[in-house]
Amino acid sequence: MHRSGRPPRADGRREPPGNASRRVTPARGCTVPAFDLDTELTAERHHLAESRAALARMRGRAEELFSTGDRVAGDAYTAEQLGRHMARRVKELADDPTTPLFFGRLDIEEAAFHVGRRHVTDDAGEPMVLDWRAPLSRSFYRASVRDPQGVATRRRFGFVKGELTSFEDEHLDRGEELGTKSRILTAEIERPRVGPMRDIVATIQPEQDELVRAELTDSICVQGAPGTGKTAVGLHRAAYLLYLHRERLRRSGVLIVGPNTAFLSYISAVLPALGEVEVQQATVDELVGRTARATDSPAAALVKNDVRMAEVLHKALWRKLAKPTDPIMVSDGSYRWRIDAEPLRRIVDEARREGLPYGVGRDRVRARVVGLLQRQSEYRTGNSPGEGWLRRMSKIGPVVEFLEASWPAVTPEQLVAEVLTDPPEGLLTDEERDAIRWAKPPKTVKSAKFSPADLVLIDEAAGLLERETSFGHVVVDEAQDLSPMQARAIARRSEHGSITVLGDLAQGTAPWAAAEWQVTLGHLGKPEAAVVPLTVGFRVPASVVELANRLLPALGVDVPEAVSLRRDGDLVLVPVAEPSDLDAETLTEVTAALAHEGSVAVIAADAAVDRLRQHLTTAGIEHATADDVDSEARVTVVPATMVKGLEYDHVVVHEPADIVAAEPRGLNRLYVVLTRAVSRLSVVHAQPLPGPLTAAA
């Protein structure tokens, strides 16, 4: 168990337990004398300074080891391994002076434990700060009056720019519990958003913590309304699993899959802030490699993303096998070897029955044929042929010809090109086959231009040929939009690991969006994953949630409504009489928003985005695009189709009717758009608001 003594007081003595006071600014009715609070605060600041100094020494030692590493390592490989390990360690021990090193304290029996982002130990190896992921830290998130877990007092610290400015105590042993009424939690939730997503490690809520700390072997699916912390939970779960199963997961890897690059840049700072610098992030398109060079018609995309395409490819591949009809005859110096058609048939049949990937099966058939030749050679010559002979036989003309006839070589691109040139009958209707058939087949497979959906098919084909290596854990965000074929691409990469699926059926905007989780979980290869709801919203103010929830009955999915923790926030509907004034009104709203603190987003139908950017430039208002998270500009113009997963303090929605009309699942898109606001939402519209929005609450 990790323990630290109570923090030394300014006079160097250890603080006795039980006299911790409430807040620096005492709560109403609190009669704790102010000097007590000051002393306590001074002691905590002292502990913070000492912890920072200890961390600096830990980093110094790691740097020293890093620089001497190649001199002590025995060989180049060990030096390289050690060097990489130490470089990672140095990076992990980086101290960011603007983020608190600890954010909480637990008083258990006679000892105090500070809980923070990582372990910090003093020179004697005694813990000064416990990593939030350590077993003991769990009580910081879970202890309650009903189940105090041995905790007498839980303390939360308030910080301003890395300076410890306040604390708040819950004396669980005296029946005091603040829950979501904690001022420090409220301040954290209401803090204006600037730049990329932040970690929530100081304020993870019990229902979130349960998901974060689920076993590595557990695959879970989190269904949560907008802003309930799904993304945050997924990222903290990745960090938690890496802490608990460091070696195993470093070897197999952890992967985060997100909907687009803007989203991935938005979340990219969270794991490094938690000391985890080696997690891969990718969109599904990036996962399947290469850049698409063609686009599909909606009808073709629909068919190509349908799960029947897996069967189409499977059949197209395996029907390439042919029964051997001729013997193999090989000249080998003065010898001649012969294998009859019958044993060849047996070899092919057996390999087929073994259920191996196609490429592996082909290698096995080749090896067995060479094995038969080897036996004949041994029998006739009395010698065992060497490696060179075996290699020569495996490439010799008659063996290659036999393989090409009975188990031909094929590349994933070739297989997909064959299917798209002449879609096979049987599994698809004639109309569907017409939809995916290439109007003009390319001259060669190499010159073929593949669409994003084709690349997923190629990935499927590659999975039929060879086994994909599996990550130890995969977190899939916005999973409601995965097509069955995309889900299968992820399944191949998590076959031997577990997954965390995050999503909201109500936010499904893809034509193949899931209507229930069981189907998607099946395609992801984890049908047994439990579906767990999150319902407490941390982003969207109650008034905005109430407006967005009006859309829910029209979205055709059965999900629990969000309940907002936020009582603050404004909602303004701005009707515009003349459509020609719409853009100008939008600009007026942006200017008004800039008077407040925090980020501002203009969200519009994709077609209006360029025009709005132009207006902002003309008006001299600096603005950025969604994937430029490092931009200094406070205003971002985001097309409605790119805004999933993002959030801004003030959102100005430009003409909801256009957003709805732009795509078949436009109402779902509008639901996503309306739920991006953290503090204020303005809806500017010249057309009537879409029907469901005007329904009485």
Annotated binding site for ATP: 224-231
- Give CA 131 to chain center in angstroms: 22
- Give CA 541 to chain center in angstroms: 25
By C-beta, is 200 or 312 nearer to ligand ATP?
200
H, E, C per residue of 7-22: CECCCCCECCCCCCCC
Region from 223-231, 289-297, 369-377, 626-634 binding ligand ATP, contact rule CB under 6 A: 223-231
Alpha helices in 497-595 (DSSP H): 517-523, 542-549, 582-594
d(CA 601, CA 613): 11
Smallest distance from the beta carbon of 479 to ligand ATP, in angstroms? 11
Pick from 228, 281, 509, 636: which binds ligand ATP (CB under 6 A)? Answer: 228
Residue the block writes with tokens 């995969």:
474
d(CA 623, CA 626): 10
Pick from 100, 472, 525, 645: which binds ligand ATP (CB under 6 A)? Answer: 645
Q: What are phi and psi of 222, to 5 degrees?
A: -100, 115
Region from 32-40, 204-212, 493-501, 582-590 binding ligand ATP, contact rule CB under 6 A: 204-212
d(CA 141, CA 149): 11
Pick from 169, 647, 658, 663: which binds ligand ATP (CB under 6 A)? Answer: 647
Pick from 4, 21, 139, 205: which binds ligand ATP (CB under 6 A)? Answer: 205
d(CA 116, CA 96): 13
Region from 195-203, 356-364, 456-464, 651-659 binding ligand ATP, contact rule CB under 6 A: 195-203
* 325 CB neighbour count, 10 Å cutoff: 10
d(CA 388, CA 670): 66
By C-beta, is 508 or 666 nearer to ligand ATP?
508
Contacts with ligand ATP, 524-543, as mask; x by CB under 6 A: --------------xx----
Q: What is the pairing mode between strands 163-171 and 151-160?
A: antiparallel
d(CA 279, CA 276): 7
Beta bridge partners of 155: 105, 169
Smallest distance from the beta carbon of 520 to ligand ATP, in angstroms? 16
Residue the block writes with tokens 């779902």:
668
Contacts with ligand ATP, 152-191, as mask; x by CB under 6 A: ------------------------------------xx--
d(CA 526, CA 537): 27
- Give CA 297 to chain center in angstroms: 29
Smallest distance from the beta carbon of 190 to ligand ATP, in angstroms? 9
Structure tokens at 6: 């109570």
511: Cβ–Cβ under 8 A, 6 or more apart, which residues? 298, 301, 302, 305, 664, 665
By C-beta, is 231 or 486 nearer to ligand ATP?
231
Smallest distance from the beta carbon of 309 to ligand ATP, in angstroms? 29
Smallest distance from the beta carbon of 502 to ligand ATP, in angstroms? 6
Pick from 204, 257, 373, 464: which binds ligand ATP (CB under 6 A)? Answer: 204
By C-beta, is 32 or 515 nearer to ligand ATP?
515
Region from 24-32, 197-205, 437-445, 650-658 binding ligand ATP, contact rule CB under 6 A: 197-205
* Interface size with ligand ATP, residues (CB under 6 A): 23
In this structure, what is the dihedral angle of CA atoms 348, 350, 351, 356, given to the nearest 10 degrees? Answer: 150
Pick from 219, 231, 377, 520: which binds ligand ATP (CB under 6 A)? Answer: 231
By C-beta, is 82 or 603 nearer to ligand ATP?
603
**Residue 229 interacting with ligand ATP (CB under 6 A):** yes
Structure tokens at 476: 């899939």
Residue the block writes with tokens 């070739």:
414
Structure tokens at 96: 């960011």
By C-beta, is 232 or 652 nearer to ligand ATP?
232
Closest residue by Cα to residue 604 from 640, 651, 571: 640
By C-beta, is 225 or 521 nearer to ligand ATP?
225
- Per-residue CA distances from 390 to 350, 377, 383, 400, 456 (Å): 22, 11, 13, 14, 37
**Residue 203 interacting with ligand ATP (CB under 6 A):** yes
Region from 200-208, 318-326, 516-524, 604-612 binding ligand ATP, contact rule CB under 6 A: 200-208
Cα dihedral 551, 561, 498, 86 sign = positive
Pick from 224, 259, 359, 423: which binds ligand ATP (CB under 6 A)? Answer: 224
Smallest distance from the beta carbon of 661 to ligand ATP, in angstroms? 23
Region from 93-101, 160-168, 172-180, 201-209 binding ligand ATP, contact rule CB under 6 A: 201-209
Please state the residue numbers annotated as binding site: 224-231
Structure tokens at 588: 């007026």
Residue the block writes with tokens 């096979």:
424
Q: Return the residue nearest ligand ATP (CB atom).
A: 229
H, E, C per residue of 11-51: CCCECCCCCCCCCCCCCCCCCCCHHHHHHHHHHHHHHHHHH
Smallest distance from the beta carbon of 162 to ligand ATP, in angstroms? 18
Contacts with ligand ATP, 254-293, as mask; x by CB under 6 A: ----------------------------------------
State the amino acid at position 80 in one-letter form: E
Pick from 232, 256, 416, 635: which binds ligand ATP (CB under 6 A)? Answer: 232
By C-beta, is 189 or 482 nearer to ligand ATP?
189
Structure tokens at 346: 């047996």
Smallest distance from the beta carbon of 235 to ligand ATP, in angstroms? 8
By C-beta, is 229 or 541 nearer to ligand ATP?
229
Region from 21-29, 43-51, 219-227, 339-347 binding ligand ATP, contact rule CB under 6 A: 219-227
Of the CA atoms within 13 Å of residue 684, those in its CB half-sphere come to 23
- Give the helix/strand (H/E) hosting 160: strand 151-160
Smallest distance from the beta carbon of 636 to ligand ATP, in angstroms? 15
Beta bridge partners of 157: 167
Pick from 504, 583, 589, 655: which binds ligand ATP (CB under 6 A)? Answer: 504
Structure tokens at 375: 């036996």
Contacts with ligand ATP, 600-639, as mask; x by CB under 6 A: ----------------------------------------
Smallest distance from the beta carbon of 562 to ligand ATP, in angstroms? 9
Region from 212-220, 227-235, 606-614, 654-662 binding ligand ATP, contact rule CB under 6 A: 227-235
Cα dihedral 664, 665, 671, 677 sign = negative
By C-beta, is 120 or 270 nearer to ligand ATP?
270
Beta bridge partners of 653: 603, 683
Pick from 208, 377, 494, 636: which binds ligand ATP (CB under 6 A)? Answer: 208
**Residue 509 interacting with ligand ATP (CB under 6 A):** no
Strand order through the sheet with 498-503 = 280-283, 254-258, 473-476, 498-503, 220-224, 530-534
By C-beta, is 229 or 359 nearer to ligand ATP?
229
Contact residues: ligand ATP, CB under 6 A: 188-189, 198, 200, 203-205, 208, 224, 226-232, 504, 507, 538-539, 645, 647, 675
